[in-house]
Structure 1
Amino acid sequence: MAAFRGEERPAWLPAPATECPVGQTERTWIETSMEWFVEQFGREAALQPVALPTPEFFRFLRHYFDITGRVNALVTKMSLLMGVAVGELRVELYDTERNGGSRTVGYYEEVDGVHVIGIDRKTDGNLVSLTGTVAHELCHVRLLGEGRITTDRGDHERLTDLLTVYLGFGVFSANAALMFARAGRRWQIMPRGYLTDELLNGASSDGTRHRLGYLSKQEYGYALACYSQLRGETDPPWAAHLDPGVRDFFTRSLPHLPADW
């Protein structure tokens, strides 16, 4: 895959001066998964423009005045950007309270050959969180819906989060993940978070509802560093849109990237 396989370490990669933010097991998983993405989706998929949480990205939604129109328009735009090309994709909006209070924000399932993405109506209150939810579910379509993996794969949720990075929505996913901290079996919002306490919560036992946030902020930092190297970027402008915490892990990860990539 690698941008630098068989070459000497690029001069722009600084020599390691600090410990890598992630352990060797996580590093190996991220690197091998990125290599697998190249095989599955092509390197061109990682070279597309990076989606950023700016007013310009959402400007097209000003024409829609109801949640159904906004969500469907966003899914349509993101499907094109993320290369989703399944035969039929349907979006369903639901209320958390009507699903037994499970506090899910999204799910993916396939019903009679139709790929269904469910989105909690409450996520419409914040376009950044809505985009993160849609990105996660569309990556389920690309992995599960296109038959590349099954839910029997133990890391399929983590792989789904990682794919959001590879397909250009890592800034959204990484920033959202930093707003939350794991506490036992639950997620709780960090004090300065801009997302509701419902985001990234509650996967049901049937495997059809999913939460975001399966990667840590450190793992996102390393994954984004790998993504940057894959794109041949030494100082990517999109990194300025990362939350300072993730950006710090991103910067600290750069010296630890494999030299033979």
Structure 2
Amino acid sequence: MDENPAEPRPWVQTVSDDCPVSEAQQVWIEASLKWFAGEFGREPLNNGIVLPGPNLFSGYTGTPRQINRLIAAVCTLMSLNPSDLTVEFFDLRDEDDSQVREEKRAVGHYYVRDGRPVIGLDVSEASDADYLTAIIAHELCHVRLLGEGRITAERSDHERLTDLLTVYLGFGIFSTNAALRYGKATRGFSVQPMGYLDERTLNAVRNDGYARIGYLREPEFGYAMACYAWLRHETEPSWAGHLDPGPRAHLRQGLAYLSRHARPGELPTTRTDGIPVSVHLGTKSSLPGLHFPFPVFRRSALPPAPPQR
């Protein structure tokens, strides 16, 4: 049987090496990661990614005590002291369904009361540790950005920047997987919102049976996770299997793109007065007793401008 070796085989899955996001989104993601490195140092990258499972919440069933222990664990990994926070719990199941549909359904919130940061968490699905961890991580990233005065809520992209910070601080698996979430309903599937968007708004985004949750789109999360791995010199991250299939495909495409355009530990572009430049995150020095824990570029005073869509 003659077989043309050059003929593509339909059962062989190929990965595109094009960047999975637009140029504006790419520049914003990479420049924001650069800014995070200047603000928070390289330690979050060195600490590595947080994986779902017993290391974070052994024997978790969603009791109030376990929720508080989970909050404390996430705080510790984000270099926050849980005693400096006020945590409020609410349950969306206690609200009238019609009221919930008419108003924005917030599964978490952040504000400051008497100079003290307050985060609120919806515990209606507290038994789902991964989902609750994503909510906690997002709200605590508000504390690190807004509460510590790094940005203001007037920034049009402050929620998107908060989502991206969960990736840099090691909680990208949770926030990425929570970005698209579906619950069984009487008629097919309905979206269970995460963030500050209501179900009606989410379902109006697209009409092909799917809807988007969160502030970063799935390709943006996937590329951000690829950049996170690349900055850690992970060309084939072992944790990729923890991601849902959609973002995992974008991660692999992002890594294929980065392997073609940058060395491990570097990102292809960022914005410096509109001029794309190479960004390199410094690693330990070869000289004994000396190391450079921070990136080898000048720290910027403000985060990058949001991408123009």
For 1:196 and 1:128, the matched residues in 2 are separated by 19
For residue 248 of structure 2, give the secondary structure of its aligned residue in structure 1: helix
| Structure 1 residues 93 and 190: alpha-carbon distance in aligned structure 2, compared to 1, 3 A threshold | closer
Q: 2:183·2:192 contact (CA, 8 Å) conserved in 1?
A: no
For residue 33 of structure 1, give the secondary structure of its aligned residue in structure 2: helix
Cα drift, residue 87 of structure 1: 7.0
Which of 114, 124, 142 in structure 2 is aligned with 1:112?
A: 114
Q: Identity rate of aligned residues, in percent?
A: 46
1:48 aligned partner: 47
For 1:256 and 1:146, the matched residues in 2 are separated by 35
Number of aligned positions between the proteins: 226
Q: Spell out the pairing of 1:227-246 with structure 2 (5 A cutoff).
A: 227-246=228-247
1:135 paired to 2:137:
yes
Q: Which runs of 5+ in 1 are unaligned?
A: 1-15, 180-188, 205-210
Q: Spell out the pairing of 1:148-227 with structure 2 (5 A cutoff).
A: 148-179=150-181, 189=182, 197-203=191-197, 213-227=214-228
Cα drift, residue 86 of structure 1: 7.9
Larger radius of gyration, structure 1 or 2? 2
For residue 91 of structure 1, give the secondary structure of its aligned residue in structure 2: strand
| Structure 1 residues 168 and 196: alpha-carbon distance in aligned structure 2, compared to 1, 3 A threshold | farther
Scaled by the length of structure 1, the TM-score of the pair is 0.78
1:57 aligned partner: 56
| Structure 1 residues 103 and 133: alpha-carbon distance in aligned structure 2, compared to 1, 3 A threshold | same
Which of 86, 89, 94 in structure 2 is aligned with 1:90?
A: 86
For 2:86 and 2:190, the matched residues in 1 are separated by 25
Q: Which runs of 5+ in 2 are unaligned?
A: 1-14, 199-211, 263-277, 280-309
For 2:191 and 2:170, the matched residues in 1 are separated by 25
For 2:217 and 2:156, the matched residues in 1 are separated by 17
| Structure 1 residues 41 and 234: alpha-carbon distance in aligned structure 2, compared to 1, 3 A threshold | same
Q: 1:61·1:73 contact (CA, 8 Å) conserved in 2?
A: no
Scaled by the length of structure 2, the TM-score of the pair is 0.66
Q: Of the two structures, which has the highest relative contact order with CA contacts closer than 8 Å and spacing of 6 or more?
A: 1
